[in-house]
Amino acid sequence: MFEPAIILTLLIDGLTNGAIYAMMALGIVVLYSVTSVINVAQGEFVMLSALSIASLRAAKIPGVLYIAVVGLIFWSIFNALAMMRQGAAPRQLKIWPILWPLFLAGLLISVVPPLAKAHLPYPLQIFIAVVLTTLLGPICYRLVLEPLPKASILVFLILAIGLHLALTGLGLAFWGPQPYDLPPFSKGGMILGPAYVSYQALWLLAISALLMLALYLFFNHTIYGKALRAAAVNRLGARLMGISAVRAGRLSFSISVFLSAVAGVLITPITKMVYDFGFLIGLKGFVGAIIGGLTNPVIAALGAIFVGVAEQFSAFYISSAYKDVIVFLLIIPVLLLRSLQHQDFEEHVD
Amino acid sequence: MRNYLSFEGLSWLVFVLFVIIVPLFLSSFYLRLMSLIGLYSLVVMGLVLLTGYAGLASLGQAAFMGVGAYTAAILSSRFALNPWLSMIAGILLAVLIAWLIGLITLRLKGHFLALATLAWGLVITGILRNWISVTGGNTGFGSATGNRFPPLSILGYPLRDERLYTYLIWFFVLLVLFLSLNLMRSRMGLAIKALRTGSIAAASFGVNVSQLKMLTFLLAAAFAALAGALFAFKELFIDPKIADLSTSINLLIMAVMGGIGSLTGAIFGPGLFVFLESFLQEYLPWLIGRSGNYEIIAFGFILIFILHRARQGLLPLLRDLLPASPVKPINHQAEPLPKRILDRAEGEVLLRVDDVSKNFGGLRAVDSLSFEVKRGEILGLIGPNGAGKSTMFNLITGVLRLSEGEISFKDSLISKLAPHQIAQRGIARTFQHLNLIGNMSLLDNVVLGGYGRTKANVWQGMLGLEGGERERARAEAHRQLKRVGLAEQSFERADSLALGKQRLVEIARALMADPELILLDEPAAGLRKHEKAELIDLIRKLKAEGITVLLVEHDMELVMTLCERIVVVNYGTKLAEGSPKAIKQNPKVLEAYLGSESASL
């Protein structure tokens, strides 16, 4: 039962999943800190990037392209409406905010389909899918969240639920209910002591670690990163320093979507991907994020890795049917601890 | 009075007749839809109380339905318990679970409840799907899977008939609607409405915020479990889908569609949802050319659209066509509410702040501050912006916990008490950042201030048995509004007033609590010159009546004319204390105020 080979294998599987959950948790924490949006749709982008690669490999146009193009058209419309609401007569409308989303949409629709049919090498397909999916970040932010800049956390949460429903449904409409597989970056694996590790798992661990490192450097050593952190602490203050809440929001949403898109690329060769599978991955990232109180990225990432490991061990030693139940029960002690810790009455106020 | 009753009575009559007559003409298909709408309405009414009024979201309401349904089914099947008793057991179990969830999340920020209930929903579905020996697993629980359970029966007559069962469901819908409407008009209901706008304000007039949030959450869970159990005995078969996260999300969509703050919308929303869903389920797969639950795309966009463009839901668009229901007049003859007896001597120490400090991380906002407020005086607390004045108010009222030191009121320690307990002892306050409920009338806002002086509990509220207490509170609130000169505007919405006037409403609300000590946080901000003169008169009148006043204000003229003593704070420490005259000449004070405000000194 407790042979080292089993424990090591469970640990490696746990770390692999945990690294993915950590990327989710980081995306959630970054977005929540900067915009107070609790993005329950975080996992949907995992699914969208993975299934887009599957489309590209089958020389089909990925559904994400259509979502992006329609989104950009609406972006243009929203810009025009916003200008009109500010009292501009139809003639005085500035033309650029209306035209550029349309240009970009036109560019995408003319460039992507030929590329999709061209049987490009795998890394290029991955690149295209990740870029297209990440593009949805600012689009979703502009269309769903930006129209209500002063909404409460509760309203943001319900908006995110709406986004989750729409994206899951679109995933089903474009790709159907069947699972999709992707080839690993490199085939095979290696013997690690008593256990076997696939090269894909190593790729996954290495790339996610690199990404988290990059994120750390970004937030601590670049002007943009520091600006985002400033916006997270005090939106008005950041604004006075010339960092607009809108740009901070779009940027942080893009970062969190990018993390999801990469996660989709990394995990699908190991677990396959279905249209509603991303949501579950996102929810497990949430458990990690809650462990970090939704605001502490380091504890959230570590918490998410713990979730991955706990999931594997409980699946093996307790019950594979109840592994999700056990994972979601993890938040009880966390919330209990937080509840006992807090002192000021002000916690009641959003 | 009569006019009011007849309008309200008429709406009820029309509604009840509608519910009685319509099922007579419905085919089996539409009867099913109507039952479904009724069941959803029960859950959504709870969600409206929770989300629309108390400002909390739950993503686990379907899970409570599941608990109600499975408990009722399992008890009446395996243990041959009477179906009605099984139903009650299911509701009690759901309430117990909600209590446990509330215990660990309701002290945290509101959205943690949403996340915890989301997790709870996933846990319960996991259990329902996998604990096959008890729940039947994915294949469901009912006679088809060898777990037969009996239908509900009344006086020995089993309710198997679809039409009869529809009546039963709608009987409960009307009952719960009636109870909820009563509740939201009652003392407790007003306090629940206050939670969403500001828990700190609610606590400042004696509302136990955690308890009230818990109460609302328990009610919502009970309504959901009732609906679940009714569903179980309707179908005599249940499967885990009833508790699914997607069902919880659907319920939230219905609540948003009906208008998240409207109990009547809680019936309209499910109605719209059910018809829209069956329409979309029929045509979308045909449009896409493949079967699947594509309606979630539409519902996702509908949810976003409603929140962007019609936050009040779709019902208010209709309601605007109907005449507004007339307001119930105030009974000025009502017996006054009980008053606190001010039995102590003037000049004794009423509030003692003893060496108090407050740290926010590395920042020491208040640093070893001590001062006393004597009964019957008007004490001014002044200092430059960021000096720690508002922090001090929050420490006195218990909103913030102090890091060091002690605060006592009438010789008993209050610095360990919760805000509502401190309010009950006789300290009332107003807020620098206004904290009124914008869409409620001035009168109701002020009535809220008397929460601590009234007693009606949630049951009395639900059954409309508050007796004369409510009338007395309304009469009292009217008197307080008169005191601040706003009696004529009693029935106007609070947010229709200029900011300066809203500050006066806050004073009336604080006075409604019949305080011994009143803390005024910048009451003159936004007032015009003659309004300031009236404010000065008002505060002097309060003093004459024996109320002690602690005043934070930037208007130096007002402070200097009104206060007998002044405490000056800077960087969280006391800079000076003394009579207005002494303060004006104090060199340290002048130095601290160098700049724009030194001129006015």
| Residue A53 Cα to chain centre, angstroms | 16
pLDDT reported for residue B324: 63
Average of pLDDT values for A135-147?
A: 95
In B125-164, the residues whose Cβ lies within 8 Å of chain A are: 126-127, 129-130
Average model confidence (pLDDT) across chain A? 90
- pLDDT at res. B5: 52
* Whether the Cβ atoms of residue B407 and residue B354 lie closer than 8 Å to each other: yes
Cβ(B431)–Cβ(B521) below 8 Å: yes
The answer to whether A173 contacts chain B (CB < 8 Å) is: yes
Q: With the CA atoms of B386, B387, B391 and B393 taken in that order, what torsion angle do they form, in degrees rounded to the nearest 10? A: -120
Q: Residues with Cβ < 8 Å from A349, sequence gap 6 or more?
A: B109, B198, B199, B200
CB contact under 8 A, A342 and B114: no
Please indicate whether, in this complex, the C-beta atoms of A328 and B123 are within 8 angstroms of each other: yes
Which of B232, B230, B210 has the alpha carbon at shortest distance from B222?
A: B230
Name every chain B residue with its beta carbon within 8 A of the beta carbon of A335. 104-105, 108, 112, 116
Beta-strand ranges (E) seen in chain A are 189-192, 195-198
Contact B290 A290 (CB under 8 A): no
Contacts of A154 in chain B (CB under 8 A): 51, 55-57, 110-111, 114
Cα distance between the two ends of chain A = 48
CA distance B581 to B593: 16
Spatial contact of B404 and B425, defined as CB atoms under 8 Å apart: no
Q: Distance between CA B220 and CA B153 in Å, rounded? A: 26
Instruction: State how far the Cα of A324 lies from the Cα of B122, in Å rounded to an integer.
Output: 8
Distance from CA of A206 to the nearest CA of B (A): 30
Contact (Cβ atoms closer than 8 angstroms) between residue A74 and residue A143: yes
The token pair at A288 is 């990690």
Q: Which residues of B touch A173 (CB under 8 A)?
A: 288, 292, 294, 297
Structure token digits, residue B471: 């009338």
Beta bridge partners of B369: B356
Contact call for B107 and A339, based on CB within 8 A: yes
Q: Which residues of chain A does B200 touch, with a Cβ-Cβ cutoff of 8 Å?
A: 345-346, 348-349
Q: Which candidate in A330, A345, A347 is best for mutational testing of the B interface (most B CBs within 10 A)?
A: A345
Q: Cα–Cα distance between B601 and B581 in angstroms, integer? A: 10
Q: Which of B465, B327, B478 is nearest to B3 (CA)?
A: B327
Asked whether the CA dihedral B141, B144, B147, B153 is positive or negative, the reply is positive
B295 and A CB contact within 8 Å: yes
Cβ distance B301 to A162 under 8 Å?
yes
d(CA B191, CA B451): 8
Torsion of CA B136, B142, B148, B153, to 10 degrees: 130
Binary contact (A169, B294; C-beta < 8 A):
yes
Quick check: B418 and A345 CB within 8 A? yes
**Residues of chain B numbered 403-432 and touching chain A (CB < 8 Å):** 418-419
Task: List, edge to edge, every strand of the sheet that includes B412-413.
Answer: B363-374, B349-360, B404-409, B412-413
| pLDDT value, residue B598 | 46
Query: Strands (DSSP E) along B209-302, which ranges?
Result: 237-238
Q: Which candidate, B207, B220, B229, places its Cα nearest to that of B97?
A: B220
Contact across the interface for B200 and A176, Cβ inside 8 Å:
no
The secondary structure of B478-539 as a DSSP string is: HHHHHHTT-GGGTTSBGGGS-HHHHHHHHHHHHHHT--SEEEEESTTTT--HHHHHHHHHHH
**Which helix (H) or strand (E) covers residue A132, if one does?**
helix A122-140
* CB–CB contact A346 B303 (8 Å): no
pLDDT by 10-residue block (mean), chain B, 601 residues: 59 87 91 95 96 91 97 94 96 97 86 91 94 90 86 88 94 95 91 85 89 95 98 94 94 92 88 94 86 90 91 68 70 82 76 91 87 92 85 91 91 90 92 85 92 88 86 92 89 87 91 93 86 89 90 89 91 88 85 58 46
Which residues of chain A have a CB within 8 Å of the CB of B114?
38, 154, 157
Chain B residues with CB under 8 Å of A168 CB are 296, 300
What's the pTM? 0.91
Residues of A in contact with B243 (CB under 8 A): none
Q: Could you tell me which residues are beta bridge partners of residue B493?
A: B441
Chain centroid, CA B169 distance in Å: 28
Partner-chain contact B307 A159, CB within 8 Å:
yes
How many angstroms away from the CA of B122 is the closest CA of chain A? 7
Beta-carbon separation of B292 and A167 below 8 A: no
Tell which residue, B127, B137, B120, B123, has the closest CA to residue B239.
B137
Is A11:A135 a contact under the CB 8 Å cutoff?
no
Instruction: Identify the residue among B107, B133, B277 best suited for mutation to test binding to A, counting A beta carbons within 10 A and taking the highest.
Output: B107
Nearest residue of B to residue A283, measured between CA atoms: B119
Q: What share of chain A is helix, strand, coil (3-state, %, to 5)?
A: 75, 5, 20
CA atoms of B297 and B277, how far apart (whole Å): 11
Residues 100-119 of B with CB under 8 A from A: 103-105, 107-112, 114-116, 118-119
Question: Nearest by CB to A349, which of B122, B198, B299?
Answer: B198
Beta bridge partners of B371: B353
- Taking CA–CA distances from A164, the nearest residue in chain B reads B300
Instruction: Say if the Cβ atoms of A329 and B115 lie within 8 Å.
Output: no
CA B212/CA B195 separation, integer angstroms: 9
Task: Express each pLDDT in A83-117 by its tens digit.
Answer: 888 876 767 767 888 899 999 999 999 999 999 99
Tell me which residue has tokens 């004045």.
B389
Tell if the CB–CB gap between A161 and B103 is shorter than 8 Å.
Answer: no
- Are A173 and B249 an interchain contact pair (Cβ–Cβ within 8 Å)? no
- What's the pLDDT tens digit per position in A216-274? 999 889 888 888 888 777 766 666 666 788 888 999 999 999 999 999 999 999 999 99
Task: Sort out which chain B residues have CB atoms less than 8 A from A349's CB and list them.
Answer: 109, 198-200
Residues B413 and B406 sit within 8 Å (Cβ to Cβ):
yes
- Asked if A339's CB is within 8 angstroms of B105's CB, the reply is yes
Which amino acid is located at B296 in the chain?
I
Please tell me the total number of residues recorded for chain A in this structure: 350
| 3-class secondary-structure state, position B407 | strand
d(CA B563, CA B578): 10
> How does residue A53 score in pLDDT terms, banded at 50, 70 and 90?
very high
CA angle at residue B169 from B167 to B171, to 5 degrees? 65
Torsions phi, psi for A302 (to 5 deg): -65, -40
In whole angstroms, what is the distance from residue A197 CA to residue B472 CA? 76
Other CB atoms within 10 Å distance of the CB of residue A339: 16
Q: How far is CA B421 from CA B104, B202, B204, B453, in A?
A: 22, 12, 9, 13
Least confident window among A28-32, A307-311, B336-340, B552-556: B336-340
**Nearest beta carbon to residue B105 from set A153, A172, A335:** A335
Contact criterion met (CB < 8 Å) for A348 and B109 = yes
**What's the rounded Cα separation, in Å, for the pair B601 and B583?**
9
To the nearest whole angstrom, how far is the Cα of B523 from the nearest Cα of chain A? 22
Q: What is the distance between the alpha carbons of residues A283 and B115, in angstroms, rounded to a whole number? A: 10
